[in-house]
Each structure stands twice: as structure tokens, then as C-alpha cells.
Amino acid sequence: MAVTIDPIHQFELKPLVSLGHIGHQQLAFTQSALYMFAAVGVIALITVVATASRSVVPGRMQSLAEIFYEFIADTLHQATGDGGKRFMPLVFSLFMFVLILNLFGMIPYAFAVTSHLIITFGLAALVISVVVIYGVMKHGTHFFGLFVPSGVPKPLLAILVPIEIISFISRPISLSVRLFANVLAGHIAMKIFAFFVVQLLLAGAWSVLSPLPLFLTIALTALEFLVAALQAYVFATLTAIYLNDALHPGH
């Protein structure tokens, strides 16, 4: 019974085309990159191909694209008001990208791109860069008023300003770790519970208990679908909230 559990194996990058090295870094077209481009393809299928007819009465796919659009437009509008419209392509792209990559991860044997911290961190860093660059361009030094809460006594500011700065710096970290950790932990949990089924089936009389982890695996799978959609939504919402700071830095 040499069945060994390896819940980590699923996260390994597999170079499909190796492109050489730059120092320590290995350059390769991996399955992760393939999934990312596949996600772009699927999103383009929903939002570009399905809307090509521009029907007034939409078909299923066009309806889907419209629902996503209105959902993100509403979320963005609630967080940022009218000024946030210019960030619609960014927030919409982020939401669709994370959502489709998360859902790809739910396909058996598929690779969960968002389980890699560097990917989620790259997206979070993009968001924070946009917030800082746009904020400074639009408001100049006034943007840094973001760290100075108004209506607070001067002595308190000495404590509050560092806290505000730390909380701002921790945003890209929390944004990226939240998504990465959810996907990673979910996939590991599913793998482990699914593995328990196999292990129990091979354990003689204990195999009568094997339905228990099976049911748990099914429940976890449902939960992971929820997490996949929810985390994409959370990512988009937090992006919109952070962008609001760039648009209206006054506290």
C-alpha cells in the first residue's frame, strides 16, 4: 500500500517551452502561462465574440457579458462614484481574470494559476501602483493627505499617521495573500480529503468509513466554487475601494 499523499505536487510549474536562464531566474513558457492566455481567450470569447452581433435582445453569452459588466460597473460606482468610470477596464479585467483563473483551477487536473503568490502579488502591485501614480498625478502632494486623518488632535497624529502608512503598505500584501492563500488552502484541503477516500478504501475494514471524506470532498468542492467567485469579487471590490482613495484622497 505505497500510496503517498502529495497535495503540493499540483502547484508545480511545468515548463512547456524552456527559454533559458537569466542568472538564477529560469525563463520558460509554463503551463501557468498557458492557463493565463487560455483565460484571456475565454474572457475574449464571452465579452468580444459573444457581443459581436450587438443584439438588442441578447443571447446567453452576450447576456453573461452584460451581467458581468453591469455587476462590475455597479460595484465600481458604489465605491468610487462617477469619477471611477475611467478605471472600469482595469477593475473589469482584474475581476474577469481572477474569476476565470480561479474557475480554471476547479477543473480536475487543471492548474490553479492564482495559487501562486507571485501572480496575485503582481496583480495587487499593479493596483497599488495605479492608485499611487494616479493619486500623485491627479492631486500632487495633496494625495499624501490620505495618511493624515482630518479632525484629529495634533498629538494623536504622531500615532495615527504611521498607522495609516503601515495600513496602506500592507494593502498589496493583504490583497495578494488573501487570494493566494484561499486558493492554495482550498486546493490542498480538497486534495487531502480526496486522498483520505483512497486511503480508507485500501485500509481493509476501515473502508466502510470512506464515504465520510467523500462527502466532505464534495462539500469542499462546492465551497471552493464559492470561494473562487467570492475571491474574484473581493479582489475587484477592494481594488475599487483603493482606487477611491486615489480619486478622493481627503479623509
Partner 1 sequence: MAQPNPLTTPPPGADTQLVPGHVEHAEAHSGAFPPFETSGFLSQLIWLALAFGLLYYLMDKVALPRIQAILHARAERLRADLDQAQAMKAEADAAGIAYETALRDAQGKARDIAQTTRNELAAEADAKRKALETELNAKLATAEATIRARTEAAMGNVRSIAGEAASAIVERLTGQAPDSATLDRALDATAH
Cβ–Cβ < 8 Å for 200, 209 = yes
d(CA 144, CA 131): 12
As given in the structure block, the three cell numbers for residue 120 are: 496575485
d(CA 183, CA 36): 16
d(CA 93, CA 95): 6
Pick 107 or 166: Cβ nearer partner 1: 166
Which range, of 114-122, 149-157, 197-205, 209-217, touches partner 1 by CB under 8 A? 114-122
d(CA 83, CA 249): 13
Pick 5 or 165: Cβ nearer partner 1: 165
**Least Cβ distance, residue 83 to partner 1 (angstroms):** 17
Cβ–Cβ < 8 Å for 105, 115 = yes
Pick 126 or 201: Cβ nearer partner 1: 126
Please, what is the Cα angle at 7 between 194 and 183, to 5 degrees?
A: 90
Q: Mask: binding to partner 1, 72-101, rule CB under 8 A, as x and -?
A: ----------------xxx-xx--xx----
Which 5-64 residues touch partner 1, going by CB under 8 A? 8, 11-13, 19, 22, 24-30, 32-33, 36-37, 39-40, 43-44, 47-48, 51, 54-56, 58, 62
**Least Cβ distance, residue 175 to partner 1 (angstroms):** 11
Sheet strands (E) in the chain = 15-22, 25-30
**136 scored as a contact of partner 1 (CB under 8 A):** yes
- At 184, the amino acid letter reads L
Cβ–Cβ < 8 Å for 237, 79 = yes
- Interface with partner 1 (CB under 8 A): 8, 11-13, 19, 22, 24-30, 32-33, 36-37, 39-40, 43-44, 47-48, 51, 54-56, 58, 62, 65-66, 69-70, 88-90, 92-93, 96-97, 115-119, 121-123, 125-126, 128-129, 132, 136, 144, 147, 165-166, 168-170, 172-173, 177, 180, 184
